[in-house]
Amino acid sequence: MDVEQVLLLLLAALAAGWVDAVVGGGGLIQLPALMLLNPTAPVASALATNKIASIAGTSSAAVAYLRKAKPDLEVALPGAGVAVACSAGGALCAAAISSEVLKPVIMVVLLAVAAIVVLKPDLGRVPKMVLRTRRRVGAAVLVPGVLIAFYDGLVGPGTGTFLVITFTTLLGTDFVNASANAKIINTATNLGALLVFAAQGQVLWAIGLAMAVCNIVGAQMGARMAINRGAGFVRAVLLCVVTALVIKLGYEQFT
């Protein structure tokens, strides 16, 4: 890779860290950049290197949110513990399951997310009181910790977005505090997948660590903007990210 390619990758990592910290979906920027700017590397290496940059950014954003926002640690910490194992399982299955099979399903889910956000303009703007039953709390642990974590290890793009919507819907939290929960879980999902990829020798450590530094810078900027500007700002970014994900997946599916 020449200097221009490396600089573009670092810029992509910075932008991805910002997006991930606000609402998730930084993989939409970072992973395609790795595959386009380093086309000779195997796809597994791009996925693995994306994870080392992502875990740096999400863990950095999680710390920023812990200082200013109010993550629900009763849900986020158990979910994170389960997520490490389930994400690792997804990474192990990544070679066996074609992403082409999953793309139409992911598109439908993303369109449903967009519809929910558009049709319910008050969703996530302010905290909403919900009856905190054992079933609801269990779902708030298991859906992110098992289903979304497995998806992140298997495919990846949109994980943070799915986490934010899950916490907002199940727990009635606003988008800012839902993002705080999401960063804790997303750090765990990145860790689980990274452990598998590292054991397989897929990580490009030099460029991955450089991207990690830029991802942290972007994550700190994004987390502070989300906290300072509030749920309305996060909602707008969420809609933009979901729209971009649908367009990207649709283009890949039909071309």
pLDDT tens track for 84-97: 999 999 988 876 76
C-alpha torsion sign, points 147, 149, 150, 154:
positive
| Percent share of the chain, pLDDT over 70 | 91
What are the residue ranges of helices labelled H in the chain?
A: 3-22, 27-37, 43-68, 73-93, 99-119, 134-142, 149-154, 159-171, 175-199, 205-229, 231-254
**Amino acid 14: pLDDT:** 95
Summarised one tens digit per residue, pLDDT across range 114-163 is: 777 777 767 667 777 677 889 999 999 999 999 999 988 887 777 888 89
And the tokens for 205? 């450590």
The candidate with the shortest Cα–Cα distance to 23, out of 226, 190, 224, is 226
**What is the 3 state secondary structure string of 234-253?**
HHHHHHHHHHHHHHHHHHHH
Averaged confidence pLDDT in the chain = 86
φ/ψ bin of 156: left (φ > 0), alpha (ψ from -120 to 50), beta (otherwise): left
**Amino acid 74: pLDDT:** 92
Tell me if 196 sits within 8 A of 86, measured CB to CB.
no
**Amino acid 235: pLDDT:** 81
What is the mean pLDDT of the segment spanning 196-205? 91
- Write the CB contacts of 130 (distance below 8 Å, at least 6 apart in sequence): 136, 170, 171, 172
Tell me if 66 sits within 8 A of 19, measured CB to CB.
no
**Amino acid 124: pLDDT:** 65
Summarised one tens digit per residue, pLDDT across range 33-87 is: 888 888 888 877 888 898 999 999 999 999 999 888 888 999 999 999 999 999 9
**Amino acid 97: pLDDT:** 64
What is the mean pLDDT of the segment spanning 16-35? 84
For residues 63 and 107, which has the higher predicted lDDT (pLDDT)? 63
Range of the domain at 190: 3-254
Say which DSSP state 148 is in. Answer: I
**Amino acid 206: pLDDT:** 93
Domain count, the chain: 1
CA atoms within 13 A on the CB side of 242: 24
Q: Which of the residue ranges 79-93, 193-207, 222-236, 238-252 would you say has the lowest mean pLDDT?
A: 238-252
Whole-model pTM: value is: 0.84
